[in-house]
Amino acid sequence: MQKTTFPAVVATFVVSFAFWVLLTWSFTVQELIVGAVVSLGVALFSARFFIHEKAFWLFNPAKLLNGLFYWVCIFPVELVKANVDMAKRCFGGCKKINPGIVKVPVDLKSDYGQAALANSITLTPGTITMDITEEEGQTYYYIHWIDVTAPSGKEAGDAIKGTLEKGLRRVWE
């Protein structure tokens, strides 16, 4: 288990406090003080589970902007494309499917990057990340794919997550 470090506590505190403010959305002094105390308690106990790498990566403006660009421009476009495709299959009587589980190499190194990519893949209809393994330094995802058009390997990886991975690499590396 990791040790609780001071930067990790600060980062967790900022996130918890922002979440408190969003949930209550009142700016009286009393509420803010209670929120700060509660956030500090939460940060002390959970910082070591929440922060695994550099604590302040999100406070770097360039990466923050890249992240915003990813979650506002790149990801929704892919989401809508996949949704329309899936809706067509469903209204067409669910006949045109060809499911299978492919194994796909992933080049992201950071834990957060891998988690974000796996969640993005799962959120787009048509692909679900089922498992993740590491073999000889290379990370692989097992992905259930509703319409297999390419065998396992790099080609399938580009078809499933090419754009997403390019966007995420700018955020985490």
Partner 1 sequence: MTALRIVIDVLIGISAIFALAGTIGILKMPDTFSRMQASTCIPTLGTICALLGALLYAIFFKNGDAGSAVKIGVICLLILVTNPLGSHAIAKGAYKAGVRPEKKMEVDDLGRDLYD
In the shown chain, the binding pattern of residues 36 to 75 toward partner 1, with x for contact by CB under 8 A and - for none, equals: ----------------------------------------
Question: What's the CA gap between 101 and 23, in Å, rounded?
Answer: 40
Written as one letter, the residue type at 97 is I
Question: What's the CA gap between 148 and 156, in Å, rounded?
Answer: 8
Q: Is 29 in the site for partner 1 (CB under 8 A)?
A: no
* Selected binder of partner 1 within 33, 44, 77, 101 (CB under 8 A): 101
Tell me the window of 31-39, 58-66, 129-137, 159-167 that interacts with partner 1 (CB under 8 A). Answer: 129-137
Bridge partner list, 153: none
Question: What's the CA gap between 33 and 94, in Å, rounded?
Answer: 55
Tell me the window of 1-9, 52-60, 113-121, 162-170 that interacts with partner 1 (CB under 8 A). Answer: 113-121
DSSP 136: T
